[in-house]
């Protein structure tokens, strides 16, 4: 039976979840926290406190794992397009759209994988995350100077959507954020930045801020030119 005319007041509990980040460094041990003045806090840093980048190795080749939903593929395609259009740089290439993997576990760990991971397995390697707090996580690997492998995991234990409707997490916002990490961006405390580390259900944060765009251009244009 349908009730008509009665308005329901849904209390919004404001679930705030982290768009997280996890690093693995090779070679040199981390030498402690870098002075934020060196990077304005916007970049992932090398062991000697320089922004971590892919150097000349653009575009970054990604494979979409076969666990990804069609919506997630659309979201990542759109997020890639957004970053490239706003920065004017060819940043990513998708070299395979249905790559064999199992629940986000790679068979070939050299690939930059974008995949779903189910909630209960979110706490396992290499994510070791909290399934109730993280709708997405980028795991990144670097040597002394450069990023050489980044994998994006999306937690499909959450309700995810393409239209940011209430009670779901917006896939495009997640994709834009995690792709920012794969390029070498760290979190910021600017809520207008796509690199802000928290997102609410129903919230859309798809457009890189001018500072986000400039952060990418600052490092990659100087390398590429
Ligand atoms: Zn993040």
The CA 182 to ligand 1 mean position distance, Å, reads 10
- Residue 2 forms part of a structural domain: no
Q: Do residues 156 and 200 lie in contact, with contact meaning Cβ atoms separated by under 8 Å? A: no
**pLDDT band per the 50, 70, 90 thresholds, residue 130:** confident
| Domain region containing 137 | 17-29+37-224
Measured in Å, residue 45 CA sits from the centre of ligand 1 at 15
Asked whether residue 185 is assigned to any structural domain, the reply reads yes
| 6 in a structural domain | no
Answer whether residue 8 is part of any domain: no
CA 121 – ligand 1 centroid, Å = 19
Question: With 50 as the cut, is the pLDDT of residue 2 above it?
Answer: no
How many angstroms separate the alpha carbon of residue 131 from the centre of ligand 1? 15
Distance (angstroms) between ligand 1 centre and the Cα of 43 equals: 12
Ligand 1 centre and the CA of 2: distance in Å? 42
The domain total for the chain is 1
Nearest alpha-carbon partner for 42 in 176, 195, 145: 195
Q: Is the pTM of this model over 0.85?
A: yes
pLDDT in tens, 4-53: 443 344 334 456 677 778 877 665 444 456 665 445 568 998 877 889 99
C-alpha span between 61 and 59 (Å, rounded): 6
194-205 pLDDT tens trace: 999 999 999 999
- Proportion of the chain above pLDDT 70, given as a percent: 85
Q: Looking at the domain assignment, is residue 61 inside a domain?
A: yes
Question: Which CATH number characterizes residue 208's domain?
Answer: 3.40.390.10
Whether residue 153 is contained in a domain is answered as: yes
Length of the chain: 225
**Does a structural domain hold residue 94?**
yes
Q: Distance between CA 207 and CA 215 in Å, rounded? A: 14
Q: Is residue 9 in a domain? A: no
CA of 22 from ligand 1 middle (Å) equals: 9
């Amino acid at each position: 039976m349908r009730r008509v005319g009665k308005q329901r007041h849904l209390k919004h509990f404001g679930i705030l979840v982290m768009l997280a980040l996890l690093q693995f460094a090779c070679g040199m041990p981390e030498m402690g926290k870098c002075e934020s003045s060196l990077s304005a806090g916007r970049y992932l840093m090398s062991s000697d406190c320089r922004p971590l980048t892919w150097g000349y190795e653009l575009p970054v080749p990604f494979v979409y794992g076969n666990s990804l939903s069609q919506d997630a593929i659309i979201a990542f395609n759109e997020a890639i397009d957004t970053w490239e259009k706003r920065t004017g740089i060819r940043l990513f290439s998708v070299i395979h759209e249905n790559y064999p993997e199992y629940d986000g576990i790679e068979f070939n760990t050299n690939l930059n994988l974008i995949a779903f991971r189910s909630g209960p397995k979110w706490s396992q390697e290499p994510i070791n995350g909290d399934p109730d707090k993280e709708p997405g996580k980028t795991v990144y690997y670097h040597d002394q100077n450069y990023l050489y492998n980044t994998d994006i995991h999306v937690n499909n234990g959450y309700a995810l959507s393409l239209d940011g409707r209430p009670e779901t997490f917006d896939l495009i916002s997640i994709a834009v954020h995690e792709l920012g990490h794969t390029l070498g961006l760290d979190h910021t405390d600017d809520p207008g930045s796509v690199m802000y580390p928290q997102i609410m259900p129903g919230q859309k944060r798809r457009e890189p801020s001018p500072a986000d765009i400039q952060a990418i251009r600052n490092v990659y244009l100087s390398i590429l030119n």
